[in-house]
Amino acid sequence: MKKCFSNRIINKIIPLCVAALLPLSQVSAQTKTDDAKMNAFVSGLMGKMTVDEKIGQLNLVTVGAATTGSVVNKGVEDKIKKGAIGGVFGIWGADHVKEVQDLAVKNSRLHIPLIFGLDVIHGHRTIFPIPLGMSAVWDMGLIKQSAQIAAKEATAEGLNWVYSPMVDIARDARWGRISEGSGEDPWYGGQVAKAMVQGYQGSSMKNADAVMACVKHFALYGGAEAGREYNTVDMSRIRMYQDYLPPYKAALDAGAGSFMSSFNTVDGVPASANKWLLTDLLRKQWGFKGFVVSDYTAVNEMEAHGLGDLQMVSALALKAGLDMDMVGEGFLTTLKKSLAEGKVTNQEIDLACRRVLEAKYKLGLFDNPYKSIDPSRAKEVLTPENRAAARNISKHSFVLLKNDAQTLPLKKTASIALVGPLADNHRDMLGTWVIAGEWEKSVSILEGIKNVAGSNVTINYAKGANITEDSLFIKRLNFGPGMVSVDAKPADELLKEAVDAAKKSDVIVAVVGESQSMSGESSSRSDIDIPESQKSMLKELAKLGKPLVIVLFNGRPLTLTWEDKHASAILDVWAPGTEAGNAIADVLFGDYNPAGKITATFPRSVGQIPIYYNHKNTGRPYDGKGPSKFKSNYLDISNDPLYPFGYGLSYTTFGYSDVKLSKTSLKGNETLTASVNVTNTGKYAGEEVVQLYISDPVASISRSVKELKNFKKINLQPGEQKEVSFTITPEELKFYNSQLKYDWEAGKFIIQIGTNSANTRDASVQWDK
């Protein structure tokens, strides 16, 4: 090892080790000292600022490169020079960012640096699986690594703020933005939120390769009625606290520097003007010290909610605790007038300004506004190492939904009919919410199979079908240029080519599902089947009687009842990112044994939505046995989902022993150990996600039928057995009661350990206070 490299590593490690060894009192004292220095600096700066300059810090604008609405700010350069802008988003690239930062630092009166943000959702240049797919890895180390790489690439291009993670709990697959979150479980969503924040912000946000995370969307956005984007949310406080708020709190506890308010109402009040939400809950109950930015024109949109004109809603937002106005410029254009009319106070403007300036201080921008901008760092973007990490993380996210007769893995000597509109496709590999990602540099499935299997495999390729033949649907999907390309050939000609390719092949690999613009923001769907053009192709191919492998692209759970019945194997790959084709080929040919588990329940029918594993029982539950009349069930389908939460197969099989408990009767703060023996009973080495659920059958309120409390991911060789143990304390028994007190109640608890939420081994314990 070279001496310079060794010294560099030592210089980074020693301070971390020393900090870890310091007594908590010394750490606390250092924090107080740092806070005092920040307060003194910010107070001194604010003492020099005019009211206009303070309001300017509350103004976040876009220059138009990446927008999610119809508004693009005008006159940005002049406003920056006048100190009327606090931050910019929508641009990246070190030269571009430096040029705009120069306007503020060199041309504004007080030289206050700008903060630069961007939607870095699942990677910056190197794109990882969409967040719903990322959550399927059940490995917080890999999730954190993806955020670290994204932060490193984003900062290399001048950015210091990312609008991620999105931690909204979603139980309605019609909602397009389910793709951007981690599914339906509040505890698991909190683990992912924590890992993402830690990956983005690192040991210090002042580091050149760290960004400030922005947790969104606060709050409850995933509960939008009818799964329709921007729609109303209405729920009880118990449901908020128990099921929807925990991931936001986990992100806050991990040190997230900023939050983004959501578009929806909370208790009838839009989130951006909801004082209970932004002040009473976020700041007073939870102790959040950072700043809150609105979502894109969310302040202006409160006019449509019926709260008043722009001046009125801007004043309401400031008074509620919103600190920065994204794009709409309601703060910029109305707050001074509201101040003169007594509708807002100097103290309220000062508080919001202080929070924005503190964020810039914590990022180290006052020490060096160009801290991340270094020409040599351009080499850190889309590197071979980053692509290798993307390939590894992607294949860990894939979920094997079906595998009859060991159809997969394929032999590298097979003759394969590779068909489908996503088989030889680069653009849709990246998935939704990719701003700086370059789809031209992604690996298609056709390329990946050639890369992995080499010349021994025979590939008979045919597109087979367009994404859809619905012209109105295509028009809606093409909100950006070239989002969905349509082959000019007639549908029957495309289909014939696929059938001909299949007839001369041993196995059919059909790459089908959703294009990138079919999920994500403003991409709600009432019908969550695979589009009919593609399903028609699958039906014709199934008639041939050959093994049919579906490689599924999707940004949401889909209704796959026909596919589950007729396909030989289904591999859900979500939208895997830059290294899509290589990662998919690794799994198809068995170079990696899939181990992903879904984090959002797959319904049998859209009529079951919302559907989620941790539901409550009714007074007339239907257990699937005996007469069903006057029970809580459907007349036409089962209550059960097609694939339950936590589900995912492997090329091998795993056996579970009965649950062993260290005690069956406990009291107070005693600790319980629950364990099972897990055995690889198949022929392949494989990973298994062992999941712990707890049920509380008798309580002061109706409880969920079960709740995920922990998991462990293990790797077993064929025939190998491991004991997997979980430590359970009263903390895992707590819930929010009718007084919103977070506590546990004595009684019987059912400890459940298994391979998914519907397939567990159970044991009971009595736990008294």
Which residues are the active-site residues? 295
Whole-angstrom distance, CA of residue 726 vs CA of residue 708: 12
| Nearest-5° Cα angle at 346, 341 to 349 | 105
The DSSP line for 489-543 is S-HHHHHHHHHHHHHTSSEEEEEEE--GGGSSTT---S--SPPHHHHHHHHHHHT
Half-sphere exposure of 484 (CA within 13 A, CB side): 25
Whole-angstrom distance, CA of residue 226 vs CA of residue 235: 14
The DSSP line for 250-263 is HHHHTT--EEEE-S
Q: Strands of 747-756's sheet, edge to edge? A: 665-667, 759-768, 747-756, 686-695, 707-716
Helix 186-201 vs helix 246-253: crossing angle, to nearest 10 = 30
Non-local CB neighbours of 237 within 8 Å, separated by 6+ positions: 740
CA distances from 744 to 191, 607, 696 (A): 21, 35, 10
* Amino acid letter, 20: A
Whole-angstrom distance, CA of residue 330 vs CA of residue 347: 18
Cis before 219? omega within 30: yes
- List for the chain the helix, strand, coil content (%; round to 5): 40, 20, 45
Q: Would you state the structure tokens that stand for residue 757, as one six-digit string? A: 């939420």
Q: For 283, phi and psi rounded to 5 degrees?
A: -95, -45
N- to C-terminal Cα distance for the chain?
Answer: 57
| Pairing mode, strands 686-695 and 735-736 | unpaired
Q: Are 756 and 645 in contact (CB under 8 A)?
A: yes
Non-local CB neighbours of 230 within 8 Å, separated by 6+ positions: 224, 263, 264, 522
Whole-angstrom distance, CA of residue 688 vs CA of residue 650: 8
Q: Would you state the structure tokens that stand for residue 309, as one six-digit string? A: 């004109």
> Which of 130, 136, 129 has the alpha carbon at shortest distance from 648?
136
Which H helix or E strand runs over 396?
A: helix 384-397
**In whole angstroms, what separates CA 437 from the centre of its chain?**
17
**38 CB burial (10 A radius; 0-12, 13-18, 19+):** middle
Whole-angstrom distance, CA of residue 678 vs CA of residue 317: 53
| Pairing mode, strands 415-419 and 507-513 | parallel
Place of tokens 């909370």: 266
Count of CB atoms situated within 10 Å of the CB of 389: 20
| Nearest-5° Cα angle at 133, 199 to 147 | 10
Q: Would you state the structure tokens that stand for residue 258, as one six-digit string? A: 């900023």
Count of CB atoms situated within 10 Å of the CB of 384: 7
Whole-angstrom distance, CA of residue 49 vs CA of residue 499: 71
